[in-house]
């Protein structure tokens, strides 16, 4: 039942992200799968499979690859292509948002991205994250609050790009 729910989910992403995902899927299905098949063929040639670590490694790699392909196929098939809004008066998908903490007055810029493009080190947050959900559809000057595992946070929106 949980797997059925996951398969019916829609994943927001830009057309560019969808195209990139398609190219990655093509690489995994064709080139990478052929590489792993060759690794298995070579490992089998070493003889007794019961004590063949190269064979075990290649089989593990094959399993990981198949799992990755299935996950990416689900994302690709269930993509909801979202356009980046031209509006800079409200926070939306693809926008960069400068916020100021109401606690310590520090400023940070976040970019609202799809769940497939999240990168905390680059301050790319998902629209589905607690902060992302709090920011979406809000305007410059609004104060947003959200709960996260480390507590409750509050930010003022300084600008939207």
pLDDT at residue number 82: 84
User: What pLDDT was estimated at residue 4?
Assistant: 39
Q: Provide block-wise average pLDDT over 10 residues at a time, the chain (161 residues).
A: 50 87 96 94 78 84 96 93 82 92 96 89 93 95 94 96 89
| Whole-angstrom distance, CA of residue 6 vs CA of residue 10 | 9
Res 8: pLDDT: 53
Domain boundaries, the chain: 2-81, 96-160
* CATH number listed for the domain at residues 96-160: 3.10.50.30
- The per-residue pLDDT for 28 is 97
Q: State the pTM of this model.
A: 0.68
The CATH class, in words, for 2-81 is mainly alpha
Inter-residue long-range contacts of 148-156, CB under 8 Å, 24+ positions, other chains counted: 153/101, 153/103, 154/101, 154/102, 154/103, 155/99, 155/100, 155/101, 155/102, 155/131, 156/99, 156/100, 156/102
Predicted confidence at residue 116, as pLDDT, reads 81
At 46 the pLDDT is: 76
């Amino acid at each position: 039942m949980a797997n059925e729910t996951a398969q019916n989910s829609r994943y927001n992403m830009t057309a560019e992200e969808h195209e990139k995902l398609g190219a990655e899927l093509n690489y995994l299905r064709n080139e990478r799968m052929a590489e792993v098949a060759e690794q298995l063929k070579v490992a089998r040639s070493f003889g007794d499979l019961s004590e063949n670590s190269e064979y075990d490694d290649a089989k593990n790699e094959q399993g990981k690859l198949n799992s990755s392909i299935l996950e990416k196929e689900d994302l690709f098939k269930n993509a909801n292509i979202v356009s980046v809004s031209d509006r800079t008066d409200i926070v939306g998908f693809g926008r960069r948002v400068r916020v100021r903490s109401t606690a310590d007055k520090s400023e940070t810029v976040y970019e609202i991205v799809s769940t497939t493009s999240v990168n905390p080190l680059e301050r790319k947050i998902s629209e589905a994250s607690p902060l992302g959900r709090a920011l979406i559809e809000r305007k410059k000057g609004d104060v947003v609050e959200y709960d996260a595992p480390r507590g409750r946070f509050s930010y003022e929106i300084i600008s939207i790009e």
